[in-house]
Amino acid sequence: MKDERETKYKVAISIIFGLLGFAANFYPVDFVFYGSYRMSFLLGLLLPMLITLAWGWKYGLLSALCGGCQTMWILWLPGSGYGPLVSVPPFTLWIVWLGWFSRTRRNIYLGETVFRLFNTALLYTLFRWVFMLNAPPANVSLPLTVAHAIVFKEAVNGLFILFLAQGLLYSEMVRKFFKLPKSTADPRQYYIYTNAVILGGILFFSFVGERYIWNMWGAEFQYTARILGSILLLMVGVLGTYNAANVFAQRKTEELVQAEQEIRKLNQELEQRVAQRTALLEASNKELEAFSYSVSHDLRTPLRGIDGFSQAVLEDYSDKLDDRGKDYLQRLRNASQRMGRLIDDLLLLSRLTRQDFTRGEVDLSAAATKIIEGLRQNQAEREVEVNISPGLVASGDASLLRVALENLLGNAWNFTAKQPAARIEFGTSKNAECKTPNAKLPNDCPVYFVRDNGAGFDMAYADKLFGAFQRLHKESEFPGTGIGLATVKRVISRHGGHVWGMGEVSKGATFYFTLSTETRPKG
Amino acid sequence: MKDKFLLLVEDNPDDVDLTIRALKKANILNEIRVAEDGAEALEILLGISSPETLPSVVLLDLKLPRVDGLEVLKRIRADERTKFLPVVILTSSTEEEDIINGYKLGANSYIRKPVKFEEFSDAVAQLGLYWMLLNEQP
């Protein structure tokens, strides 16, 4: 319904404008240059031009056919013979062409130029030739000088009309009349069009005014009129420029306000999304907690049964079992105990993620020393040369970092078990000075490392090192659940750091880690 | 004076057998009563008429059918007669929350059941010896 009403409105306006244009063209605005030469502007063409630029070529065509471009048949017919047959239809074509071209979003003056070239060619060729069909004595080819004049007049007239229509269509008032959305053009164009209109006004006053107005009031009034006219124009110019500047500033303010609103909206959305995500995360954390609680409790209970009753059989019925039977039972027990350790490690890993993070100063050297002491107590028979750089203090969560160091040093301890002169080193260096600098980190980023001369590993499997339950050695060679480095990685990740390993089979391994991507301030 | 006894609150029959076995191995010959869920434990404890017939110690699992272990503990502590009754939580869970809540509600001890039977029986034996023989009740 709304569309239909709008279409009716457009059709009605197109027809009215066409008729008005038809009438207006009977009163061309003449700029007199000399003698019999007139520069006349068909201002009526402005009306169909406005229609075609605002609503497209179909309405433009309607308006042009309804009279906007048809006055010239009557103006030019007497005395021109067949001439108008060639020179008048292009006006309608002009309206249609520019209406279409303006929709292509290319510069409208390019379209005007293309049309003007075509029209000029037409005027010089077909138009001049068609005069020969006229009844004598007009049956001569049009003189070239006349053709020049016509071409020039039409070019100036066309450009002027187009310019005026464009300028008017920048005005919000005109846009409202045509039900167009607010202009998105660069507001600086207002300056140009305003000043162009002023220039046009000066020309009008100087030429048209001289002929029609000043003379009416008498020659003695001419100078006063010109001075008054100039002052008036100057005022109009100042006002127009002020208005343009105002529009410009207003537009800028509107843009800023809009941008601010958009930012605020985005912010709100972002906050909402963060809240949503947090709620989701909390829910999944809760679920994980419930899950690991259940794992911790329920998964271990049957294992205790398996281990306990196997032991009970070994104790109570050992006389009825041969060695093989006893061995099987022992294996049953080993397996269930190993499963128990796996569950414990898995729980530890999941707890690391859930645990609260409390940042503080952590003395890594002291923690490492303590861990090594513990390892030495457990296996007093082993001789290991340990070198811990003193005074390594980092910012992080003490309990998490202890777990990471326990795993790294514990690994180093375990994997040097078969090395007669075992050596473990804990220290720090700058990224660039590492054996394998991390490309993602700045060169002066502090990097901690744990180095050993133990079993090492094949670099081909380096990407598997940090996955949970990934082992690069046989259980029988080096015991472990394969979860230690996954744990380390999780701790380091929670600190916002990186961890990577470097190794060579039977020559040892070095594990590097950073605790934050920030570098120390340069001093 | 009536014989001292121990109340084991445990729903898993395997764990019940293993605990009893471990206690016997440690030469704790006192009577061991078993409650298979929290409600049953509360019936035994709060249904008792005189303080003399209370157990020397309650070994309490946390994850129990019907009424769970922490709830049992809460009710034991809320009742005048059983306010000082020694309760040892003996469970599989090592969740920090459980440990903290256990002590908050007034558990006397919190022991985690190890998978390895030797460790388990060691723990149970020590528990039995301590609470049945060494500990003096009010």
The tens digit of pLDDT for each residue in A377-419 reads 888 888 888 888 888 888 888 888 898 899 899 888 888 888 8
Please say if the pLDDT value at position A345 is more than 60. yes
Residue B37 corresponds to which tokens in the numbers above? Answer: 């869920």
- Nearest-Cα distance to chain B for A360, in Å, is 22
pLDDT at residue B26 in the model: 83
CA distance B32 to B44: 13
pLDDT tens-digit profile of A66-77? Answer: 888 888 888 776
Flag if B117 and A308 touch (Cβ within 8 Å): yes
pLDDT at residue A523 in the model: 33
Residue A212 corresponds to which tokens in the numbers above? Answer: 């029609």
Mutate to test the interface with A, among B117, B121, B122 (most CBs of A within 10 A): B117
Higher pLDDT, B116 or A353: B116
- Nearest-Cα distance to chain B for A341, in Å, is 9
Q: Which member of A293, A304, A311 has the closest CB to residue B95?
A: A293
Q: Which of A178-182, A336-340, A515-519, B41-45 has the lowest mean pLDDT?
A: A515-519
pLDDT at residue A522 in the model: 37
Residue type, A279: A
Residues of B numbered 23-62 whose beta carbons fall under 8 angstroms of chain A's beta carbons: which are they? 62
pLDDT at residue B6 in the model: 87
CA distance B45 to B61: 15
Give residue A262's region: left, alpha or beta (phi > 0; psi -120 to 50).
alpha
Q: Which member of A293, A305, A347 has the closest CB to residue B14?
A: A305
pLDDT tens-digit profile of A201-245? Answer: 666 666 656 656 656 666 666 666 666 666 776 776 677 677 777
Mean pLDDT, chain A, integer: 81
- Is residue B91 within 8 angstroms of chain A, CB to CB? yes
Residues of A numbered 256-315 whose beta carbons fall under 8 angstroms of chain B's beta carbons: which are they? 292-293, 296-298, 300-305, 307-312
pLDDT at residue A225 in the model: 64
Q: Report the chain A residue with the minimal C-alpha distance to residue B96.
A: A351
pLDDT tens-digit profile of B57-116? Answer: 888 888 887 788 888 898 888 888 888 888 989 888 777 778 888 899 888 888 888 878
Please work out, in degrees rounded to the nearest 5, the angle formed at the alpha carbon of residue A99 by the alpha carbons of A98 and A104: 85
CA distance B120 to B92: 11
- CA quadruple A286, A290, A295, A297: dihedral positive or negative? positive
DSSP B97: H
CA distance A124 to A130: 11
- Nearest-Cα distance to chain A for B60, in Å, is 14
The secondary element (H helix, E strand) that includes residue A476 is none
- Is residue B68 within 8 angstroms of chain A, CB to CB? no
Q: Which member of A301, A340, A347 has the closest CB to residue B15?
A: A301
- Nearest-Cα distance to chain B for A406, in Å, is 20
- Is residue B12 within 8 angstroms of chain A, CB to CB? yes
Q: Which residues on A lie below 8 Å from B120 (Cβ)?
A: 304, 308
CA distance A11 to A9: 6
Flag if B12 and A339 touch (Cβ within 8 Å): no
DSSP B104: H
Tell me the average pLDDT across A304-321: 88
Please say if the pLDDT value at position A156 is more than 70. yes
pLDDT tens-digit profile of B97-111? Answer: 788 888 998 888 888
The secondary element (H helix, E strand) that includes residue A391 is none
Residue A67 corresponds to which tokens in the numbers above? Answer: 């009279």
Please say if the pLDDT value at position A134 is more than 80. no
Please say if the pLDDT value at position A88 is more than 70. yes
CA torsion A39→A43→A46→A47, rounded to 10°? -160
Q: Which member of A301, A307, A333 has the closest CB to residue B12?
A: A301
Q: Which residues on A lie below 8 Å from B17 (Cβ)?
A: 309
The secondary element (H helix, E strand) that includes residue A511 is strand A508-513
Please say if the pLDDT value at position A283 is more than 70. yes
Flag if A297 and B62 touch (Cβ within 8 Å): yes
Query: Is the separation of the CB atoms in B41 and B35 below 8 Å?
Result: yes
Q: Report the chain B residue with the minimal C-alpha distance to residue A310.
A: B117
Please say if the pLDDT value at position A36 is more than 70. no
pLDDT at residue A519 in the model: 46
* Residue tagged 């298979």 (tokens): B36
Most confident of A173-182, A220-229, A290-299: A173-182
pLDDT at residue A520 in the model: 47
Q: Which member of A296, A308, A347 has the closest CB to residue B18?
A: A308
Please say if the pLDDT value at position B123 is more than 90. no
pLDDT at residue A250 in the model: 81
Q: Which residues on B lie below 8 Å from A296 (Cβ)?
A: 92-95
Flag if A304 and B94 touch (Cβ within 8 Å): no
Please say if the pLDDT value at position A277 is more than 70. yes
DSSP states of A3-67 as a string?
A: HHHHHHHHHHHHHHHHHHHHHHTTS-EEEEEETTEEEEE-GGGHHHHHHHHHH-HHHHHHHIIII
Q: Which member of B21, B63, B95 has the closest CB to residue A312?
A: B21
CA distance A387 to A257: 63
pLDDT at residue B67 in the model: 82
Q: Which of A178-182, A328-332, A516-520 has the lowest mean pLDDT?
A: A516-520
Q: Which member of B93, B113, B117 has the closest CB to residue A311?
A: B117
Q: Report the chain A residue with the minimal C-alpha distance to residue B19.
A: A308
Please say if the pLDDT value at position A273 is more than 80. yes
- Residue A263: pLDDT band by 50, 70, 90 thresholds? very high
- Nearest-Cα distance to chain A for B115, in Å, is 5
pLDDT at residue A223 in the model: 65
Tell me the average pLDDT across A265-277: 92
pLDDT tens-digit profile of A409-448? Answer: 988 888 888 888 888 989 888 776 666 667 677 777 788 9
Residues 6+ apart with CB under 8 A from B67: B37, B38, B39, B41, B42, B75
- Nearest-Cα distance to chain A for B36, in Å, is 15
How far is the CA of A257 from the CAs of A248, A250, A252, A261, in angstroms?
Answer: 14, 10, 9, 6
Query: Is the separation of the CB atoms in B73 and B37 below 8 Å?
Result: no
Q: Which member of A293, A309, A336 has the closest CB to residue B115?
A: A336
Flag if A305 and B15 touch (Cβ within 8 Å): yes
Q: Report the chain A residue with the minimal C-alpha distance to residue B117.
A: A308
CA distance A128 to A87: 10
Collapsing DSSP to helix, strand or coil, B112 comes out as strand
- Residue B129: pLDDT band by 50, 70, 90 thresholds? confident
